[in-house]
């Protein structure tokens, strides 16, 4: 493709992957946008992810998707966007991995820990969290912001874990100025 450097955004597990890129391959990144991601699993994330893992293995894909939807969509999506929530659940059910693969992916999220190394990140970074995120609490965004020198932090009140689904315009309004600010400087 010939792309030497790019702006990268990662939400949730994508944010954990972006942490790895920022530490291991900063030369490939123009800037980083971390959204609703964690630095190292704490007891809250362990409980959420372990419950999801156990449901996937014992009950199967459909209950896993339904329970995961509670955590990832947030209550306001159920109230204001139920049709979209149901559509996302159906799409997830049509493409979901086998329970053993889901469990392995969850184990990977629980083992993610680059906390001691993330302070090495020198790429311009924006960190976004949602106060109502039931999957990854917003305090992880605060922790990541504190760990990355010079990063910017935005905490949004509502939107759930995948808030860009419900508030695409608001999402764009947050990241556009950041990208424009760094476009000519990187």
Answer whether residue 1 shows pLDDT above 80: no
Answer whether residue 28 shows pLDDT above 70: yes
Long-range contacts formed by 44-51: CB under 8 A, 24+ apart: 44/137, 45/109, 45/110, 45/136, 46/110, 48/134, 48/135, 49/106, 49/109, 49/110, 50/106, 50/110
pLDDT band at residue 63 using 50, 70 and 90 as cut-offs = very high
> Looking at residues 44-71, what average pLDDT do you find?
96
Question: How do residues 86-131 score in pLDDT, each as one tens digit?
Answer: 999 999 999 999 999 999 999 999 999 999 999 999 999 999 999 9
pLDDT band at residue 20 using 50, 70 and 90 as cut-offs = very high
Percent of the chain with pLDDT over 70: 98
pLDDT band at residue 154 using 50, 70 and 90 as cut-offs = very high
Domain 6-40+117-183: give its CATH architecture: 3-Layer(aba) Sandwich (3.40)
The neighbour count for residue 27, using CB atoms within 10 Å, is: 8
Residue 12 near residue 36 (C-beta atoms within 8 A): yes
d(CA 7, CA 179): 8
Does residue 75 or residue 64 have the better pLDDT? 64
pLDDT of residue 67: 94
Which is nearest to 155 in space by CA: 9, 10, 36, 15?
Answer: 36
pLDDT band at residue 165 using 50, 70 and 90 as cut-offs = confident
Answer whether residue 186 shows pLDDT above 70: no
Average pLDDT value for the chain: 92
pLDDT band at residue 3 using 50, 70 and 90 as cut-offs = confident
3-state class (DSSP) for residue 125: strand
| Token reading at 124 | 């311009």
The residue extents of the domains of the chain are 6-40+117-183, 43-109
d(CA 155, CA 109): 22
């Amino acid at each position: 493709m010939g792309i030497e450097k790019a702006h990268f955004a990662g939400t949730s597990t994508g944010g954990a992957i972006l942490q790895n890129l920022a530490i291991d391959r900063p030369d490939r990144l123009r800037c980083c946008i971390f959204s609703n991601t964690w630095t190292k699993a704490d007891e809250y994330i362990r409980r959420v992810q372990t419950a999801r893992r156990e449901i996937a293995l014992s009950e199967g894909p459909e209950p896993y998707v339904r329970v995961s939807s509670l955590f990832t969509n947030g209550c306001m999506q159920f109230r204001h966007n139920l049709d979209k929530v149901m559509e996302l659940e159906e799409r997830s059910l049509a493409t979901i991995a086998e329970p053993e693969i889901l469990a392995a992916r969850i184990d990977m999220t629980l083992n993610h820990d680059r906390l001691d190394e993330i302070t090495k990140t020198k790429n311009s970074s924006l960190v976004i969290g949602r106060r109502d995120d039931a999957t990854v609490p917003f305090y992880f965004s605060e922790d990541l912001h504190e760990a990355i020198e010079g990063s910017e932090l935005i905490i949004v009140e509502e939107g759930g874990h995948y808030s860009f689904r419900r508030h695409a315009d608001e999402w764009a309004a947050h990241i556009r100025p950041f990208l424009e600010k760094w476009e000519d400087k990187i």
